[in-house]
Structure 1
């Protein structure tokens, strides 16, 4: 497979034609790299078994460790997770932002994306590009950080091309990203628990 093309994109106000090209690839089961408000992400369509399988292979990730996915807006989260009034109020104050929220999944979530406890990790990132991709796709984007074989984050599109280019369909270049993951917060049973401290700060 030829190395994926790199397209320079405005990460805050993405050009519609670049978003459309990426969405066509995602819709066909492809995997792309794109900048987020934390690391560069590798993403596929939540509705594509082929894409999800490819993403797991790409990361060499254990199938028992579900990947998180991102939604364009808080209103979309309720389709894929059970959102109580408490969870909604908590997320409303923290989205869009550098948080991954762990909630109980609804039946719309594919089995491969849930933990044994039927929980799921969902993001509404503070990234115009990431949200535009999910909105144009019409479904959430399964997402995981772009890393090299040693598991170190790749923060530049050219590094991603060198390490993963021949296994991706497209790389969206939004410049160098920060070296910080999202903060993972469980809101299960209306209880706030920080599972991983990252870029997002809870007040």
Structure 2
């Protein structure tokens, strides 16, 4: 049965954040709100949680997982990014965008796209996620909480608790969350390609 954390959206309680991070460090899988929609999150090196996310979402090996980062200093450890791309990303970050970039050797191989050797990264504009990342001290392995055969992500913490009670270890609820995933921009070829239109305005990348 999943633990349920009711967390303030703007001023997250340190005790709750500490308990959630402790759960992540012990191998847990959480459902948590972001600046776009709910996501599934785990510690970066957690192989079992990766398999659990694949099973929940019925994902194939080509799916891009996302590293949710606290800031550019952290993001830069995990992806290769030149000055032009950096400027483009910085203009809309933090925000509801995921960027696909060539990965560095810091990224576990099982998270990489099998052919492109790329990974998704993002810096969210959300106080709860930023508090989790600050306490954890590393990126969160993450994937949009979009269930198979459903067109939109789940948006309510209580509903996620009800439906995923036996497949996640905790649900973090900070009130209403959006129903639209991030906009995904692929920079792996050097220029921007809009892969998915979502919460973030894609017009500057088209």
Indicate whether the TM-score tops 0.5. Answer: yes
Deviation at 1:110, TM superposition (A): 1.0
Where do residues 83-122 of structure 1 align in structure 2 (5 Å cutoff)? 83-115=81-113, 116-122=115-121
Aligned residues: 201
Deviation at 1:149, TM superposition (A): 4.5
Structure 1 CA distance for aligned equivalents of residues 154 and 129 of structure 2: 17
Structure 1 CA distance for aligned equivalents of residues 64 and 189 of structure 2: 20
Does the 8 Å contact 1:73/1:131 carry over to 2?
no
- 1:188 is paired with a residue of what secondary structure? coil
Matched residue, 1:193: 193
In structure 2, do the counterparts of structure 1 residues 66 and 117 end up closer, same or farther at CA, with 3 Å as the change threshold?
same
Where do residues 16-27 of structure 1 align in structure 2 (5 Å cutoff)? 16-27=14-25
Where do residues 50-129 of structure 1 align in structure 2 (5 Å cutoff)? 50-115=48-113, 116-129=115-128
- 1:172 is paired with a residue of what secondary structure? strand
> 151-160 or 51-60: which moved more?
51-60
Deviation at 1:63, TM superposition (A): 2.8
> 144-153 or 158-167: which moved more?
144-153
Gaps of 5+ in 1: none
Matched residue, 2:141: 142
Gaps of 5+ in 2: none
Deviation at 1:199, TM superposition (A): 1.0
TM-score normalised by L of structure 1: 0.93
Does the 8 Å contact 2:56/2:147 carry over to 1?
no
Deviation at 1:71, TM superposition (A): 0.3
TM-score normalised by L of structure 2: 0.91
- 2:77 is paired with a residue of what secondary structure? helix
Q: CA RMSD in A?
A: 1.5
